[in-house]
Amino acid sequence: MSGAAGKGTTALVLAGGGTKGSFEAGALRYLIGIERIVPDIITATSAGAIAGSVLAQARTYPEFAQRVEEVDDDVLAMTRGDQVFGQQAWLRALEGTTLGGAIRLGLTRGTRPVVPPLQMDGLDGVAAAIAPDPPAPRSPRRAARRDRRRRRRQVQRLVAGAAVRLPRARRKLRTSGSAVLNLTPLANALRQGGPSGIHRVEPGLIARPGLQLRLAVTALRAGALRYVTQDGTIVEDDAVTPAPGASAGPVDVLDGVIASASVPLVFPPRRLADDDYVDGGVLQVVPVRAAAQLGASRIIAVLAVPLRIEREERNYAEDNAANIGLRALGAIALTERQRENLDVALPPGATLVTIDPVVDVVGYFEVEPGLLRINKDYGWLRAADVMAEGDATMLAGVAAGTHRLTEARLQAWHVEESVCVSGRIVDADAGTVALLRELKRQVREIVEQRKQLGFPVPDGAEAWWSGYEMHNH
């Protein structure tokens, strides 16, 4: 590994995406653990910035192998939301109310993707046996009226339950800003470690010579993309030139991590030097350009969010503002921004490899460790598929198997969750048991086919079909 950017350097580009970044953790585990990649440059945004700061403490292969294990631990620690994310004062004022719970639930389960449809491979009768009868057809006008009444009743229940707390919540809203949560507990955990399970990150190790780090941040006052470097300098969007005057800092690199992860509206802006900063993903979700500007000859970009958005059969004309915003400004805009960020003119001779999910497994603020494990394993397999060489038809078939395997595990998790009590599967009827067996059979069959073709699988893959997935309750 060379000590400065230039010819022959390798860059890891880690994209943003909240807890969807669990996919990146799995991919990194493969890239470092199996491919033995030791980067000279790390450019990262948001969730990628958290993982990137952990890795940036390393310089040698043994150090990177240790740090990637810490990234893996940190991902699961993110499910301990009360120890990682703080509530803004106005939301704390609604603690214990239906409205407060609904807001938190909207961020966690509300951002989960739609579960892929079942593919039973000859056992359609099993799926039909456990599927509910189709609803009787209703006139569109009557259905719309019924949906409007149902939404009104939901709003009335939410407001009624929080009526006593709302005046205080409004006062707190004026003083604590409009963000929902804050990242103060995460910042403290990164500095000190602690019961959350997040590993301590040492800025002194990051600042050592031998690796260049760029954390994407968006300056609200300047209205510009900037980067925080390994020594806390704030540089312009060319990833090299220091910001003018006092804007260059230096700042605590961990403050840069938190600023890069401060999703607008969800988390408050973070003050760095003389400006207020939010998530770098506003402009650069996948900071490939920064890696290219630093002279990387081999760039490996790891994404957290799929590059293709699936059609959703949902009546958005009658939907609530939160769901419309998530779809338009979240899924659609984010997907398009990723494609734009990847469309970069590379230096002569430089290469770009993109490791991206196709199956969308978790939400942006997932709290279920079982789903995060599935997504991590998916990232590991996807990295192995993308980095493999061989016949194009065979590689495409293996990749299709990886996607199908992940869908089957995801479907199994949701089926298990429907009959799960205190972490144990209970009261499952014959149809549900048959469906789970079929899904597990599909997983085992795909893994065995993969092994026969000489493709690797993570350690412990046998547990994917020999037992239940992990459940929180």
Which DSSP string corresponds to 66-86?
A: HHHHHHHHHHHHTT-HHHH-E
| In 193-302, beta strands by DSSP E | 212-219, 224-229, 234-235, 270-272, 275-279, 298-302
| pLDDT tens-digit readout, 412-457 | 999 998 887 665 667 778 888 899 999 999 999 999 999 999 999 9
Identify the three-state secondary structure at position 449: helix
- Give yes or no for a contact between 255 and 272, defined as CB atoms under 8 angstroms apart: yes
Query: Structure tokens of 443?
Result: 């997983």
Percent of the chain residues past pLDDT 70, beyond the cut: 79
Residue 47 CB contacts under 8 Å (≥ 6 apart), including other chains: 14, 15, 16, 17, 18, 19, 20, 21, 24, 261, 304
Mean pLDDT of 367-377: 94
148 pLDDT band, cuts 50/70/90, is low
355: burial class by Cβ within 10 Å (0-12, 13-18, 19+)?
Answer: buried
Query: Structure tokens of 20?
Result: 């969807």
Query: Structure tokens of 330?
Result: 């979240």
Run of H or E residues at 181: strand 181-182
Among the ranges 285-289, 364-368, 433-437, which has the highest mean pLDDT value? 285-289
Q: Is a pLDDT exceeding 60 seen at residue 165?
A: no
| Per-residue pLDDT, 6 | 42
380 — phi, psi (to 5°)?
A: -60, -50
d(C-alpha 30, C-alpha 388), whole Å: 12
| In 81-211, beta strands by DSSP E | 86-87, 181-182
229 pLDDT band, cuts 50/70/90, is very high
d(C-alpha 341, C-alpha 13), whole Å: 11
228 — phi, psi (to 5°)?
A: -95, 130
Which CA distances in Å does 454 have to 33, 286, 389?
18, 31, 11
| Per-residue pLDDT, 152 | 55
d(C-alpha 47, C-alpha 28), whole Å: 13
d(C-alpha 257, C-alpha 239), whole Å: 16
d(C-alpha 246, C-alpha 195), whole Å: 37
- Can you give the length of the chain in residues? 473
Give the closest residue to 375 by CA, choosing from 94, 122, 19, 3: 19
Tell me the β-bridge partners of 11: 41, 299
395: burial class by Cβ within 10 Å (0-12, 13-18, 19+)?
Answer: middle
pTM of this structure: 0.86
Q: Is a pLDDT exceeding 70 seen at residue 316?
A: yes
| Per-residue pLDDT, 141 | 63
Q: What is the mean pLDDT of the chain?
A: 85
Between 427 and 20, the more confident residue is 20
- Give yes or no for a contact between 43 and 291, defined as CB atoms under 8 angstroms apart: yes
| Per-residue pLDDT, 331 | 80
| Per-residue pLDDT, 155 | 45
Give the closest residue to 233 by CA, choosing from 220, 218, 246, 219: 246
- Give yes or no for a contact between 157 and 163, defined as CB atoms under 8 angstroms apart: no
Between 367 and 446, the more confident residue is 446
Interhelix angle 184-192/253-260, nearest 10 degrees: 140
d(C-alpha 424, C-alpha 469), whole Å: 10
Sign of the Cα torsion 429, 435, 438, 443 reads: negative
| Per-residue pLDDT, 3 | 36
Q: Provide the H-helix boundaries in 34-134.
A: 47-55, 61-77, 81-84, 89-92, 98-108, 124-130
Residue 326 CB contacts under 8 Å (≥ 6 apart), including other chains: 110, 111
- Give yes or no for a contact between 48 and 219, defined as CB atoms under 8 angstroms apart: no
